[in-house]
């Protein structure tokens, strides 16, 4: 009899907990998803075996592009094979059926290992006025290195969330480039 009562009590507690968790999504204080916010994932510049091809940084100090296909990836990114390195040269062609990449780059003094993750900080990607607005922070490295590098911020976004319209990049709340798509 005790076992039956204990089993009934456990069943009642589990049912109550499940009903409470399911009911939380119906509560009026839950936050609704903002359809203007585009989810993104940051792709670190060392994730693939390769580097961004050169551009004329005296004419264009901040370089921006949107990469939507493997062909565009191969146009902007140069493979750099290293013996024993198992990293891929880039995303697979079928990956571009689901994702596209926003890329912003600068020529800068080489950062040290501690400041490198903080040079570019993505803040938001939002749909606005029929286009896309990317906000990020840029902190110039202060490592004291005697050489300069070209480094970038790359964000992967869902392909279905953006198809056409201008893409505007804001660095430290200042418009730095615009792409017309």
The answer to whether residue 26 scores a pLDDT higher than 60 is: no
Residue 4 confidence (pLDDT)? 65
* Cβ proximity of 159 and 42 under 8 Å: no
C-alpha 60: how far from its chain's center? 23
* Cβ proximity of 48 and 92 under 8 Å: no
Cα separation, 135 vs 169, in Å, equals 6
Residue 90 confidence (pLDDT)? 79
Mean pLDDT for the stretch of residues 101-116: 92
Alpha-carbon Rg for the chain, nearest whole angstrom, is: 23
Q: What's the CA angle centered on 105, arms 103 and 111, to 5 degrees?
A: 130
- The DSSP call for residue 37 is B
| Domain parsing of the chain, residue ranges | 41-179
pLDDT tens digits along 41-86: 998 877 777 888 889 988 999 999 999 998 998 898 887 767 777 7
At 176, is the secondary structure helix, strand, or coil? strand
Please give the model's pTM, rounded to 2 decimal places.
0.77
């Amino acid at each position: 009899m005790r076992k039956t009562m204990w089993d009934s009590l456990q069943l009642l507690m589990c049912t109550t907990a499940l009903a409470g968790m399911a009911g939380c999504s119906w509560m009026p204080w839950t936050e609704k998803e903002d359809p203007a916010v585009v989810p993104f994932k940051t792709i670190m510049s060392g994730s693939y075996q390769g580097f961004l091809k050169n551009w004329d940084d005296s004419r264009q100090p901040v370089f921006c592009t949107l990469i939507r296909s493997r062909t565009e990836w191969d146009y902007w990114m140069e493979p750099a094979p290293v013996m024993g390195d198992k990293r891929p040269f880039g995303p697979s062609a079928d990956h571009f059926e689901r994702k596209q990449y926003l890329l912003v780059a600068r020529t800068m003094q080489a950062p040290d290992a501690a400041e490198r993750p903080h040079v570019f900080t993505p803040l938001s990607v939002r749909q606005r006025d029929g286009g896309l607005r990317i906000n990020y922070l840029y902190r110039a490295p202060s490592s004291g290195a005697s050489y300069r590098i070209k480094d970038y911020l790359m964000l992967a976004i869902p392909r279905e969330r953006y198809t056409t319209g201008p893409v505007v990049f804001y660095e430290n709340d200042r418009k730095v480039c615009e792409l017309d798509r």
